[in-house]
């Protein structure tokens, strides 16, 4: 039996590598690319797109998976004041889906370009019996750009609008909705498959000191705020976009605010709410005042107690 008969076509894999070289550029070395220069506080962060890829594949929008793979990492490192430098990707797929790798890589390249990072390389694996679809994971290297500051009672909480569910909760969403159904006057395939928002411009406001700290609302949703608050509390209130209202109709409140971003993709902490909102508008980031830090107590979002 040949490798190809077992489901792994090395010729197909070489075609993927050739396409990757065309899209992303070649290697400096035999196996890797590298960055020169002195780096301060180098960070490495890894995250993936999860089961959003199932719908993206059905909708023929796999370039969004590449974009999201970069942005979910970028938005995380931004919260600690890190600026993305470089990206590597890992694409695992089943035999027969090899052509999708090029679409993913185009999204990776565009997202990296947006945030000023370089794509140093990656790995594409054809995994019969192990993978039924496509799995996309990225690792981002980042260096310290701005310092964060501890929040205190009375600090204001500003919410940055999300573009949709971003890349979280899709295993549940796929059981709540059909990709081809109409929701909020639009197709689910449009509402729920928008690319993850790019919040990297927030770094400039961290650098200037207007923003003290930030929390990326991803897996675990608003419970992520606890990472910034420590033993403090927070009370948030905001109007839900239509898609989030539809989600809230179908799941318990604790599930809605504990799984999905519900329209707020990142929360920022500031002492200067007017200055923060003004600067965010200048940067083109839709934002609104959504809450305040309390001296103690739980995280409460639209009346739902999360912790």
Q: What is the pLDDT of residues 162-179, one digit of tens each?
A: 999 999 999 899 999 999
Full set of structural domains in the chain with CATH: 3-144 (3.30.1330.10), 155-306 (3.90.650.10)
CA distance 233 to 260: 20
Which one has a higher pLDDT value, 306 or 281?
A: 281
Per-residue pLDDT tens for 110-148?
999 999 999 999 999 999 999 999 999 999 999 889 989
Mean of the pLDDT values across residues 211-230?
Answer: 91
Annotate 82-101 with b (16+ C-beta within 10 A) or e (fewer). Answer: bbbbbbbbbbbbbbebbebb
What pTM, to 2 d.p., does this model score? 0.90
Q: Are 248 and 182 in contact (CB under 8 A)?
A: no
Q: Residue 61, SS3? A: coil
User: Closest by alpha carbon to 98, among 24, 19, 12?
Assistant: 12
As a whole number, the mean pLDDT across the chain is 91
Closest by CA to 50, choosing from 167, 129, 138, is 167
Name the one residue in this structure whose structure tokens are 């608003």: 222
CA dihedral (80, 198, 141, 268) in degrees, to 10, reads 0
Q: Above 60 in pLDDT, residue 89?
A: yes
How confident is the model at residue 15, as a pLDDT? 84
Q: Over 80: is that where the pLDDT of 39 sits?
A: no
């Amino acid at each position: 039996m040949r490798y190809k008969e077992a489901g792994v076509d090395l010729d197909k894999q070489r075609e993927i590598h050739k396409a990757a070289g065309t899209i992303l550029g070649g290697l400096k070395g035999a196996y890797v690319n590298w960055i020169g220069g002195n780096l301060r506080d180098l960070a490495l962060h890894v995250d993936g797109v999860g089961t959003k890829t199932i719908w993206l594949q059905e909708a023929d929008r796999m370039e969004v998976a590449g974009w999201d793979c970069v942005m979910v990492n970028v938005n995380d490192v931004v919260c600690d004041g890190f600026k993305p430098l470089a990206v590597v990707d890992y694409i695992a797929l089943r035999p027969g889906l090899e052509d999708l790798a090029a679409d993913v890589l185009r999204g990776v390249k565009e997202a990296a370009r947006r945030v000023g990072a370089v794509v140093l390389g990656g790995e594409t694996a054809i995994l019969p019996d192990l993978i039924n679809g496509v799995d996309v994971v990225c690792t981002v290297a980042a260096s310290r750009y701005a310092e964060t500051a501890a929040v205190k009672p009375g600090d204001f909480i500003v919410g940055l609008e999300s573009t949709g569910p971003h890349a979280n909760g899709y295993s549940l969403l796929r059981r709540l909705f059909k990709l081809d159904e109409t929701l909020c006057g639009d197709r689910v395939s449009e509402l729920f498959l928008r690319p993850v928002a790019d919040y990297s411009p927030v770094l400039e406001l961290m650098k200037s000191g207007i923003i003290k700290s930030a929390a990326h609302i991803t897996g675990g949703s608003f419970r992520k705020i606890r990472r910034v608050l420590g033993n403090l509390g927070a009370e948030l209130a905001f109007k839900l976009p239509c898609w989030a209202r539809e989600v809230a109709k179908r799941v318990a409140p604790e599930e809605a605010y504990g799984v999905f971003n519900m329209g707020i993709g990142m929360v920022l902490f500031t002492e200067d709410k007017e200055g923060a909102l003004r600067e965010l508008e200048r940067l083109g980031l839709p934002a609104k005042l959504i809450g305040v830090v309390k001296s103690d107590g739980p995280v409460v979002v639209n009346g739902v107690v999360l912790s």
